[in-house]
Amino acid sequence: MATSTVENYLKEILVITLEEEISKVPMGQVAKVLGVTPGTATSMAKSLERDGWIKYFPRVGVSLTKKGKKLAMNMLRRHRLLETFLVETLGLDWSEIHAEAEELEHAISEKVLEKLDDFLGRPRFDPHGDPIPSKGGVIQQMTSKPLSEFPEDASVRIESIIDQNKEFLRFARKSNLVPGQLLKIIGKEVCADAITLKTLKGKVVNLGFRSAEKVLVLPYE
Amino acid sequence: MATSTVENYLKEILVITLEEEISKVPMGQVAKVLGVTPGTATSMAKSLERDGWIKYFPRVGVSLTKKGKKLAMNMLRRHRLLETFLVETLGLDWSEIHAEAEELEHAISEKVLEKLDDFLGRPRFDPHGDPIPSKGGVIQQMTSKPLSEFPEDASVRIESIIDQNKEFLRFARKSNLVPGQLLKIIGKEVCADAITLKTLKGKVVNLGFRSAEKVLVLPYE
DNA sequence: TCTATAATTTTGACTAATCAAAATAAATAT
DNA sequence: ATATTTATTTTGATTAGTCAAAATTATAGA
């Protein structure tokens, strides 16, 4: 069984791998994200390799083995589901959930996690808009999705507008709803059928759900 | 900051102290409940004393200091609130919640705990009927009395059912006579040997005096 | 009282995780 | 090509928590 220190190392290595699209994460970076000295990261790398979690390439960096990646993906799932719970159910602030989830993710059992997933309605994105890996450890393809499927506070980038309607397109352009534009969902009232957006420049736009379905976006950052 | 090992030692010492009403818990018992060898318990006792959590009386046992008791009470609060959450919200089975809460209680922050408390409606009893210590670490420990001793119009909360009889327990559960349930005595006919109760939801139940003696309650409000 | 048994403590050893600081290797600049 | 800077590894030490087994003390029995 992996200790929570091991879980943290693997998860952070995975996150860096995904974010920077590199195959070997240098030790300095590992040390930095985990808040330990470089020497600690190196000695940890050796014992992680001994236990089959990673491959360690001296003076180059580390990469996850299949077994390591599986565990790391599972940790990411835990983390993101917990963040969703903390925001959606308990109403915690966006800014404080990361640290909280960081602790809980090591303590929650597989069973409770699945119950929580049910309770939350099997969300596919966390409050930051990041995809929640499936139970099997597969991460959702980053194919663009309708704006309407994202939760409040999500940061997204417009990929495309799927509507031929000239009226709508004109409105969209006028409101800066163009591919490439970065947006934050600052309000989502399901009962009122309304979504409120803010562009990077601070411009605020309101959309109905019907329209929000026509705007395909990707989670950003 | 206390490690989770420290938290466990203190909590278990508290539980034994409460259950057996003794002031000094012998080391053998500490070792047993924590699943460690006696030598480990002894050496742990020394470091717990060094850090001011307990008083250690060699060859006799340990007792909690004020500081230790405060932390231990807080752990008990965490444990029981989490058990309540696991049953009430996630629908876990009664038999599995203890082990789950045992892990989570060390990971949940004070802030999340209070949010959870709000979310659950500030329950005062966990699913086993045990009282949940208040935020300040005070445990509500009025002595419960048989339902039969209370007058008409009294509002009470069920503390426990003292009967081994399966028939009666089944009936009690069916009638919602379970720990934590709030009741009002709406009729008491001494000559007819009968008590009439009403639950919060308006359900009316009749009990004979013999049965009412088996239901221990506390006055409520 | 004296001995057998039970409980407790001591001792020595081990693992996981960490740091500080010295040593080494690689990358960059001159 | 050499010196300087930066990244990485090694070394030696520390702390928390644990066990096994020997030593000690207390308890109870005859």
A76 neighbors A130 (Cβ within 8 angstroms): no
Q: How far is B71 from chain A (nearest CA, A)?
A: 19
**Mean pLDDT on A134-163:** 79
CA(B110)–C1'(D29) in Å? 54
User: Nearest-CA neighbor of A213 among A126, A131, A149, A157?
Assistant: A149
Chain A partners within 8 Å of B116 (Cβ)? 90
For residue A172, the model assigns a pLDDT of 81
What's residue A140's pLDDT?
Answer: 65
Residue B149 inside a domain? The answer is: yes
Chain CA centroid to CA B175, Å: 22
Q: Which of A139-143, A149-153, B55-59 has the highest mean pLDDT?
A: B55-59
Write the CATH number for A181: 2.30.30.90
CA A38, C1' D7: Å apart? 9
Domain boundary residue, one of B45, B64, B83: B64
State the nearest Cα–Cα gap between B108 and chain A, in angstroms: 6
Q: What is the DSSP string of chain A?
A: ---HHHHHHHHHHHHHHHHHT-SSB-HHHHHHHHT--HHHHHHHHHHHHHTTSEEEETTTEEEE-HHHHHHHHHHHHHHHHHHHHHHHTT---TTTHHHHHHHHTTT--HHHHHHHHHHTT--SB-TTSPBPPPTTSPPPP---EEGGGSPTT-EEEEEEE----HHHHHHHHHTT--TT-EEEEEEEETTTTEEEEEETT--EEEEEHHHHTTEEEEE--
Structure confidence at residue A47 (pLDDT): 97
HSE of A203, CA atoms in CB hemisphere, 13 A: 11
Question: How far, CA to CA in Å, does B142 sit from each of A40, B23, B139, B145?
Answer: 53, 20, 9, 9
Look at residue A209 and tell me whether its pLDDT is greater than 90: no
Closest residue by Cα to residue B205 from B215, B190, B219: B215
Rounded to whole angstroms, the distance from the CA of residue B145 to the C1' of nucleotide C7 is 39
Among protein residues, the one whose C-alpha sits closest to the C1' atom of D18 is B40
Residue to test with chain B: of A97, A105, A112, A117, most B Cβ within 10 A: A112
Distance from CA of B88 to the nearest CA of A (A): 12
> Is residue B97 assigned to a domain?
no
A25 found inside a domain? yes
* pLDDT tens column, B152-209: 777 888 877 876 566 777 788 788 888 888 888 888 877 778 889 898 888 888 888 8
Task: Quote the domain boundaries for residue B179.
Answer: 145-219
Region A121-149: mean pLDDT is 80
Inter-residue contact A108 to A116 (CB < 8 Å): yes
The answer as to whether A81 is a domain residue is no
Does a structural domain hold residue A200? yes
Average pLDDT, chain A: 89
Q: Among residues A40, A64, A88, which one ends one of the domains? A: A64
Chain B residues with beta carbon closer than 8 angstroms to that of A92: 111-112, 115
Which residue lies nearest D7, CA-to-C1' measured? Answer: A28
Beta-carbon separation of B112 and A89 below 8 A = no
Q: pLDDT (tens digit, 9 = 90+) per residue, A192-203?
A: 788 899 988 888
Burial A49-75 (b: 16+ CB within 10 A, else e): beeebbbbeeeebbbbbeebbebbbbb
Positions on chain C within 7 A of a protein C-beta: 7-12, 16-22, 25-26
Give the CATH number of the domain where residue B50 resides.
1.10.10.10
- The mean per-residue pLDDT over the stretch A96-106 comes to 95
> Which of B81, B82, B90 is the best substitution to test chain A (most A C-beta atoms within 10 A)?
B90
Inform me whether the pLDDT recorded for A93 exceeds 90: no
Q: Which residue is nearest to nucleotide D6 (CA to C1')?
A: A28
Q: For residue B9, is it within any domain? A: yes
CA distance B132 to chain A (A): 20
Using CB atoms, pick whichever of A91, A100, A106 lies closest to residue B109: A100
Residues of B within 8 A of A104 (CB-CB) are 104, 107-108, 112
Q: Note whether residue B135 is domain-resident.
A: no
The residues close to strand D, meaning Cβ under 7 A, are A 26-29, 38-39, 41-43, 45-46, 58-61; B 3, 5-6, 34-40, 43-44, 47, 59
Q: Which of A89, A107, A119 sits opposite B103 (nearest CB)?
A: A107
Give the per-residue pLDDT at B165: 66
Question: How many structural domains does chain B have?
Answer: 2
pLDDT value at residue A142: 60
Q: B64, B92, B114: which is the final residue of a domain?
A: B64
* Å between CA of B187 and C1' of C27: 90
Q: Is residue B199 part of a domain?
A: yes
Q: What is the pLDDT along chain B (221 residues), one digit of tens a residue?
A: 899 999 999 999 999 999 888 999 999 999 999 999 999 999 999 999 999 999 999 999 999 999 999 999 999 999 999 999 999 999 998 788 999 999 999 999 999 999 999 999 998 888 776 789 999 877 766 567 788 777 777 788 887 787 656 677 778 878 888 888 888 888 887 777 888 989 888 888 888 887 888 888 887 76
Q: Give me the mean pLDDT over the A181-195 stretch.
A: 84
